Chains A and B, each alone.
Chain A
């Protein structure tokens, strides 16, 4: 099993700047997490794995608010990406989200609920079947997953459920950026008496209906999720549509 991985690592290293090639590893978790073996078994079973510095996972080393920990995944340095899976080793619900950057750069910003200090990782599967893994440790006082959503304390959200607000920037240093927020409690099901209630899928297309990105979201994504995407070209409105696990749907058009 180790032999073909090493071949893959050497082949990749030849294509990379020397500093990055030196950091490329095919064994030994650079984050030194006791849960890594389980994570590998759960998400990457059987496929070749590379710890790859080109997969950037940006998050604060200390999270002030465990209910809203910002995470940015940037795998735009890799080509031929099939899917990206984001997980947090020590969260009670490990899987955060998956995204499929069909027609958009492999860049996604979002926020997560963390229950305790944990690595947050992105595993990027390229067309050759290799998983490229990046990640970072986030320290937090915790309680993010077993604390009730703010919505649980107020009936107001029901009137605004799945309401989308967003903006698209067509000029300036952030041209091509799209940011949107969806009103949803994203209940984890870990608070007594509150069943899991969360958005499951979001599809982003361009105005002509061409798919840009599909995102599958799970319980740990923060309440009232906020997403940041990057388009290569601003070509009319971005269409967002999706549904939660109770079958409620939403659709929104975000004009530039």
Chain B
């Protein structure tokens, strides 16, 4: 009877498994002393609470380094608990790879720890963080309860960074946003690519400069080859042991821009472009239809302007 009553409560709460706001974060070992939490390849919903992102941590000799903190206070707290199950060492540094909300809104759970990001990422979080958070309250509902922007406290820049007895190679790139930080952990050969790389999920473009992004992907592929990268942790999607997701992301961006350019040159209006069907190879790619639609909104005006100006 008691069980029946709690089932009824779940039904009344209206959420499937969401009533306890537990992300059920599962630690995945990706290399010795390196772990990741792999999110769903979905958009933010009340069902997933925003757990659509990959976050990670490195257990270094003198402490734990966290890479991205997730989409909410609750996520950050649950992430920190899950980390504590693996290591009793203190968290000594949190790194935000870029200024998108699913990567930094868990920072509050690490308010007692230095939080580092590139200068432009720090600025972006300060100026746009609240608007991002509001949007996530709208999309993920009560999962976001109590979440506020905790801006990074420390500026990181490109080069080697010694932290807690571990050497990180920080690579400052851009293209997905105005500042995208890639972290390579030297001793394990793990590359944390942030959202420059998506795996099995269509890339997002709200702050993208596609030309710069493609340049960044070339650089990443070179780094994978030259720096002995053995494991690639993308910002979204499964961890791999090769550069396939880099090529996958590049192929999507190339297809996207070619489609938009060709459309603009053929005289299509934005509504005509939105109505174009996805090619067969992308029909079953998670989030492809949504991200195509969103990308038309973000990227078509500039591409169309080029086409119209070349007609003068």
Contact = CB atoms under 8 A, between A and B. Distances in A.
Given A64-B293, A70-B274, A141-B135, A166 B269 contact: no
B308 A165 contact: yes
A165 B311 contact: yes
Interface stretch (A40-48, A123-131, A169-177, A203-211): A169-177
Interface residues of A, number: 30
Contacts of B304: 179, 181, 226
A70 B269 CA distance: 8
Interface stretch (A13-21, A55-63, A184-192): A55-63
Interface in A49-80: 58-60, 62-65, 68, 70-72
A60 B305 contact: no
A63 B138 contact: no
B266 interface: yes
A181 B308 contact: yes
Given A68-B301, A165-B309, A179 B267 contact: yes
B308 to A, nearest CB: 4
Given A70-B274, A174-B267, A181 B305 contact: yes
A12 to B, nearest CB: 27
B297 A63 contact: yes
Contacts of B267: 167, 169, 172, 174, 177, 179
Interface in A148-185: 165-169, 172-174, 177, 179-181
Interface string A108-127: 01010000000000000000
B301 to A, nearest CB: 6
B132 to A, nearest CB: 12
B264 to A, nearest CB: 9
Nearest to B265: A167
A71 B84 CA distance: 53
B293 A179 contact: no
Interface in A71-119: 71-72, 109, 111
Contacts of A146: none
Contacts of B309: 165
A59 B271 contact: yes
19 contacts: A60-B274, A60-B297, A63-B297, A64-B294, A64-B298, A65-B298, A68-B297, A70-B269, A70-B270, A165-B305, A165-B309, A167-B267, A167-B308, A174-B266, A177-B267, A179-B269, A179-B308, A224-B301, A226-B301
Interface of A: 58-60, 62-65, 68, 70-72, 109, 111, 141, 165-169, 172-174, 177, 179-181, 224, 226, 228, 254
Nearest first, the 5 closest Cβ-Cβ pairs linking A and B are A167-B311, A64-B297, A70-B270, A174-B267, A109-B269
